[in-house]
């Protein structure tokens, strides 16, 4: 039965056969879950008709009136979009939340309405919330808390949040899950998966083959998200990873007052990351907060391999304090988390380094290793295409690089080359796109790569872990063991010009420490072999290296970098 839903037309059966097979079970999630929770055909067909009717009517309205320049019409369309997605339920609300972080994709009037999907949805009955607290925690709310309000401060797709006071006087956030979530999620995911199967063979961009796998990944993530005990574990793990980072704040879990459907954490008194003017009125610097968000996201992906997959403005708060007093970033809602394998994490680091060095052939191999291209794909015609798409965007600086532009260009490539989106990367792409969308909302000229490049370059040059030392050797020396000074200069240029010039001196100190320390044995050996080749000493390489150091770290050059940074 699982095979009936996963293969669709590709195993020779018609779509009607697939629909008939769904009458017993349709694995919108993992087969194990759906063997336990089958979706009856009459429910599936009935819900499918409702979804198609609602989305069809919405699409027709947007196509007919979407081009209007009348602001009143656009506001009305935004409300129609909000009303439709809210009415369709949690799965579709999640889609709207993703769109609400993309000011570069969605009209402003629509965006204002979609933002409400983050934490301003209609609340469910307060009495049901109190009943859930009593059944889950074993006592009524008035006994567990010093004060408990009669209405929530926020309501989202899966639950609503109350601001309560503990018996010891501390304020906490109490998240209570919406009733009857599991059957609604199972039904809607079955509908979405069926639509993915039926539409997959007709989709361009090589997306259809993996579309059902992406829906499965999304469904599994949703079911993990409604397990608040798992979310509590996630929050504590996330807090441990960032315990030494002064720019990131994670609320503490109150385990005694938490269960599978109720989660209690310390209250974060902060400002939502939605409006630049509001942040500035609270003496919070949007640029500092955006940078903190991007750096923390990079650390999650490239250092920890464990990341927050739902960084929309409803889950991020700006708090006072921080290293320079310009603000700290507070994370909440740890239901949608995911992990990145060690191999994928290192390959992503490689990909950023290859972009820095404009090594598009190596970047093509990175796409194969990550699963975006099938093994054995002929990369010869792809390399110049990648150079055309990415090289032209990078130019002499990374300032103008953004994922929306690259995505638009890649959509053209995907008609000609067999790119596909591996299911395991669906949440990563969602997280990165949401992060960039949030940054663009606060900083319209922001470039996520402009922060990512210096971060990766700085970590690579510092080489403070064994894996990074190996990466540094791969960057600095070619396959014949020759020193690639232009690559070293590229890395230093990225740190000094596109990053923070103040980072150059610590980076140089870390590099010197590596050269003379025991961890630098491999680097010293490779450097010696590069300088002594063919039985003679290559003094030209030594002279070029010395000239690079003098040029890059001259007082005049450092002052110029500082001036350029201050002028941005």
Round to whole Å and give the CA distance between 95 and 509: 47
Q: Helix, strand, or coil here: 530?
A: helix
For residues 323-354, one letter each, b for 16 or more C-beta atoms within 10 angstroms of the residue's C-beta and e for the rest, the string is eeebbbbbbbbbbbbbebeeebbbbbbbbbbb
Q: Which element (helix H / strand E) includes 386? A: helix 382-386
Round to whole Å and give the CA distance between 4 and 162: 44
Round to whole Å and give the CA distance between 369 and 362: 11
Q: Which element (helix H / strand E) includes 264? A: strand 262-266
Asked if residues 377 and 465 have their Cβ atoms less than 8 Å apart, the reply is no
The distance from CA 221 to its chain's CA centroid, rounded to whole angstroms, is 14
Please choose, from the candidates 387, 528, 398, the residue with its C-alpha nearest in 3D space to the C-alpha of residue 451. Answer: 398
Joined together, the tokens standing for residue 412 give: 């053209």
The torsion of the CA quartet 265, 269, 273, 276, rounded to 10 degrees, works out to 180
Q: Phi/psi at 24 (nearest 5 deg)?
A: -95, -45
Q: Phi/psi at 567 (nearest 5 deg)?
A: -85, -10
- The one catalytic residue in 216, 310, 333, 561 is 310
Annotation says 310 is catalytic: yes
Asked if residues 253 and 263 have their Cβ atoms less than 8 Å apart, the reply is yes
Round to whole Å and give the CA distance between 103 and 120: 19
Round to whole Å and give the CA distance between 526 and 47: 64
Ramachandran assignment for 127, one of left (phi > 0), alpha (psi -120 to 50 degrees), beta (any other): alpha
Q: Phi/psi at 398 (nearest 5 deg)?
A: -95, 10
Joined together, the tokens standing for residue 39 give: 């979706």
Question: Which residue's structure tokens are 């949440």?
Answer: 427
Query: How many Å is the Cα radius of gyration of the chain?
Result: 26
Please report, for residues 438, 483, 557, the alpha-carbon distance to residue 332 in angstroms, rounded to integers and kept in the order given: 15, 46, 42
Point out the residues that are catalytic.
Answer: 310
């Amino acid at each position: 039965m699982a095979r009936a839903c996963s293969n669709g037309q590709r195993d020779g059966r018609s779509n009607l056969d697939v629909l008939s097979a769904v009458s017993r079970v349709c694995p919108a999630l993992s087969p194990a879950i759906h063997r336990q929770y089958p979706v009856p055909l009459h429910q599936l067909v009935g819900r499918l008709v409702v979804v198609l009717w609602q989305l069809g009517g919405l699409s027709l309205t947007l196509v007919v009136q979407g081009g209007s320049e009348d602001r009143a019409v656009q506001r009305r369309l935004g409300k129609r979009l909000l009303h439709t997605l809210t009415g369709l339920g949690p799965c579709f609300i999640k889609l709207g939340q993703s769109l609400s972080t993309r000011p570069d994709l969605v009209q402003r009037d629509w965006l204002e309405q979609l933002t409400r999907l983050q934490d301003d949805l209609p609340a469910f009955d307060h009495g049901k919330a109190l009943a859930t607290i009593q059944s889950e925690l074993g006592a009524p709310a008035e006994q567990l808390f010093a004060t408990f309000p009669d209405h929530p401060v926020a309501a989202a797709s899966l639950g609503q949040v109350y601001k309560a006071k503990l018996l010891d006087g501390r304020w906490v956030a109490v998240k209570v899950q919406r009733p009857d979530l599991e059957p609604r999620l199972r039904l809607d995911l079955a509908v979405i998966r069926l639509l993915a199967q039926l539409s997959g063979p007709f989709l361009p961009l090589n997306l259809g083959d993996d579309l059902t796998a992406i829906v499965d990944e999304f469904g599994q993530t949703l079911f993990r998200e409604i397990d608040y005990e798992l979310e509590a574990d996630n929050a504590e793990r996330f807090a441990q990873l960032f315990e030494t980072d002064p720019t990131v704040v994670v609320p503490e879990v109150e385990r005694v007052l938490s269960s599978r459907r109720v989660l209690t954490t310390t209250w974060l008194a902060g400002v939502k990351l939605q409006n630049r003017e509001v942040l500035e009125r609270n003496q919070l610097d949007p640029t500092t907060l955006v940078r903190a968000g991007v750096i923390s996201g990079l650390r999650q992906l490239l250092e920890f391999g464990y990341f927050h997959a739902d960084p929309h403005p409803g889950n991020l708060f700006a708090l006072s304090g921080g290293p320079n007093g310009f603000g700290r970033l507070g994370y909440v809602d740890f239901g949608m988390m995911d992990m990145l394998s060690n191999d994928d994490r290192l390959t992503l680091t490689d990909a950023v380094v290859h972009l820095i060095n404009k090594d598009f052939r190596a970047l093509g191999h990175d796409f194969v290793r990550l699963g975006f291209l099938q093994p054995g794909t002929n990369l010869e015609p792809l390399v110049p295409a990648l150079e055309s798409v990415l090289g032209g965007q990078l130019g002499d600086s990374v300032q103008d690089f953004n994922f929306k532009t690259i995505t638009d260009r890649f959509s053209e490539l995907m008609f000609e080359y067999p790119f596909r989106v591996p299911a395991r990367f669906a949440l990563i792409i969602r997280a990165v796109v949401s992060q960039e969308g949030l940054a663009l909302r606060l900083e319209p000229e922001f470039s996520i790569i402009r922060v990512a490049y210096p971060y990766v370059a700085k970590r690579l040059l510092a080489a403070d872990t064994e894996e990074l030392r190996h990466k540094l050797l791969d960057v600095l020396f070619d396959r014949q063991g020759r020193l690639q000074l232009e690559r070293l200069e590229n890395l230093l240029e990225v740190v000094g010009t596109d990053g923070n010039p103040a980072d150059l001196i610590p980076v140089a100190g870390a590099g010197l420490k590596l050269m003379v320390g025991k961890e630098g044995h491999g680097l010293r050996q490779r450097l010696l072999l590069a300088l002594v080749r063919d039985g003679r000493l290559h003094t030209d390489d030594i002279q070029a290296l010395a000239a690079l150091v003098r040029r890059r770290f001259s007082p005049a050059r450092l002052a110029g970098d500082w001036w350029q940074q201050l002028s941005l």
